[in-house]
Amino acid sequence: MRTPTGVLKAPPYVTKGGKKEVTDPSKAQILPLDYSPAICRQNEQGTRALSDQALQKQLASQLKLSAKAIQEAEKACESGESTFKHVFGSYDTQGKWAPTSAKGTLEDTEVLGSSFEQIDVGERGFYVALDKNYIKIFVVFGTGLKLIYGDQVGEYIEKAMCWNIEEYNSVNPPEIPKDIQHKEYEKWLLSNPHLCWAPWSRAGVYHWGVWMERGHHDRGSIVTKDTNVKARMEQVMWPLFKAMGALTRAQRILLTAVDIECMREYESILRNCLTATQQLFETDERECFTLRACLVNIFTEPHIDGGDVKGG
């Protein structure tokens, strides 16, 4: 692979004549992860769906601004005090070497991040950013899996999913992204050939689900190439998707607690997909997402694309 700064050379084990084989799909060991939220295990009565609902309501009530906090904010506004900090929208366009541009370095990004107030959310905590009309801008959860499943089960699910992705990665390596958008990514490619040399690369992105065909939005959604695998790979992918249901349940509960209207929109979009197509990427009986991206050993850094700010 050629980049503007050099040529990606083959790792030593390739140049020395060594041949590394991709593992046979039948040897992959995917760990099953079918767990109920902690609130369901604590209370033996009721179904999983009912426990999901109870947890959603509990989280939603905790995310609301208290009456006392609203009173304090309103008094501060009346007295002219500055109660809201403006930290968005200014740093992405600050000159030639904007930290989030293609030319920005990791050092630039770290300096930018350290200039803002640092808040420790904690494993079981969360942080809610509101605008001056008390509408949520974003919500950050410390450890979402532990919040939903409890400490022990949540930690196990996290470690087991890492194992499962490694297993799938060993039998069906991802394709390394062909486009190089950022300066630091070029350096990373040249310094890590052992992770991105086909056909046994250990760096890339999987896209599972459906999306719009690039340049042909009028044709409707299509199944991604990573989802439409060969028959021999299905024996590994289906167990992986089933195990991912534990993540889907946690994400669904958290998103519903944060923004139930957004979740309803997701469900509406999913209903428009053909039933036969949906079965190809379904991870849970109450699936709500049409597309997932799984990054494996991929270098990432903050950046902004034109489409991110389209329409303001």
In a domain, 49, yes or no: yes
In a domain, 187, yes or no: yes
Structural domain containing residue 191: 37-298
> Is the pLDDT reported for residue 19 higher than 80?
no
The pTM score is 0.78
In a domain, 308, yes or no: no
Burial of 114 (0-12, 13-18, 19+ CB in 10 A): exposed
- Write out 91-127 in H/E/C secondary structure: HHHCCCCCCCCCCCCHHHHHHHHHCCCCCCCCCCCEE
Tell me the C-alpha to C-alpha distance, in Å, between residue 307 and each of 59, 152, 262, 310, 312. 32, 40, 20, 5, 10
C-alpha triplet 178, 303, 252: angle, nearest 5°: 90
3-state SS assignment for residue 225: coil
Q: Are 209 and 201 in contact (CB under 8 A)?
A: no
Beta bridge partners of 50: none
- pLDDT band with cut points at 50, 70 and 90 for residue 289: very high
Distance in angstroms (rounded) separating the CA atoms of residues 74 and 82: 11
In a domain, 307, yes or no: no
Sign of CA dihedral 118, 122, 124, 125: negative
In a domain, 108, yes or no: yes
Distance in angstroms (rounded) separating the CA atoms of residues 242 and 181: 34
> Is the pLDDT reported for residue 95 higher than 60?
no
| For residues 32-38, average pLDDT | 86
Q: Would you state the pLDDT for residue 283?
A: 92
Tens digits of residue pLDDT in 150-198: 889 999 999 999 999 999 988 998 877 665 566 667 777 777 777 777 6
Tens digits of residue pLDDT in 193-247: 777 776 667 788 899 998 887 777 777 788 899 998 988 899 999 999 999 999 9
Distance in angstroms (rounded) separating the CA atoms of residues 194 and 11: 6
In a domain, 179, yes or no: yes
In a domain, 32, yes or no: no
Contacts of 281 by beta carbon, 8 Å cutoff, 6+ apart = 208, 209, 210, 223, 227, 241, 287, 290, 292
In a domain, 60, yes or no: yes
The number of domains in the chain is: 1
Q: Would you state the pLDDT for residue 88?
A: 46
Contacts of 68 by beta carbon, 8 Å cutoff, 6+ apart = none
- The Cβ of residue 196 has, within 10 Å, a number of other Cβ atoms equal to 25
Q: What percentage of the chain exceeds 70 in pLDDT?
A: 71
